[in-house]
Amino acid sequence: MNTPSTITRRALITAGGVTVVGAGALALAACTPSGASTSGSAGGGAGAAPSAPKPASGTEVAKLSDIPVGGTASAKIAGAPVLLAQPTAGTVVCFSAICTHQGCVVAAAAKEFDCPCHGSKFEAATGNVLHGPAVTALDKIAVTVSGNSVVTA
C-alpha cells in the first residue's frame, strides 16, 4: 500500500524538480539575449536572440544601395534576421524579422513584409500589421545611414 504511493510521490517530485529547473533555465536563456532591460552592457553578441537584436551601434546591417527606394530587403544583425525598407531615398527603417504572431521569419516582399506561416502582412515603412493573424507590429530596430552603409544606431 505504501510502496506504490511513495513511488508515485517520489516520481512526481523528481519530475517536478526537473521541469522547474528546465523552465527556469529556459526563462533565463530567453531573457538574457533579448533583454531590453539590460540594454547596452558589453555588446552582448552571443547571437541567437529571437527578438529584436541589440548589437553595438555602428554595426553595418546592409549597403544602402541593396535596398530599393520604395522597396524592401532582408539582412542579419548578429545572426538574427531583420527586415529593411527605404520608404524615401536615404531614409531606412529596420525591423526584427521575427513574426509577432508565432515567431516565424518574415520575408521581405516588394513593398511590404510577408510571413510565410499564416499569412500576416506588415507595412514596410512602419512594421505595422496590414493583415493578420498577427496583431502587433514588428519590433523596430534603430538604424542610421552612413554613406552607403546602413548601420545600427
Q: Which amino acid makes up residue 87?
A: P
Q: Taking CB under 6 A as the rule, which mask of x and - marks residues 17-36 in contact with ligand FES?
A: --------------------
* Biggest alpha carbon–alpha carbon distance for the chain: 79
C-alpha cell at 150: 546602413
- Please report, as residue ranges, which positions from 108 to 147 form the binding site for ligand FES (by CB under 6 A): 115, 117-120, 133-134
Report in angstroms how near the CB of residue 98 gets to ligand FES at its nearest: 9
Nearest 10 degrees: CA dihedral of 5, 6, 7, 13? 110
Kindly state the smallest distance separating residue 103's Cβ from ligand FES, in Å: 6
Q: For the window 65-104, what string marks contact with ligand FES as x by the rule CB under 6 A?
A: ----------------------------------x-xxxx
Task: Kindly state the cell numbers that stand for 98.
Answer: 521575427
152 binds ligand FES, rule: CB under 6 A: no
Question: Which residues sit at the interface with ligand FES, rule CB under 6 A?
Answer: 99, 101-104, 115, 117-120, 133-134
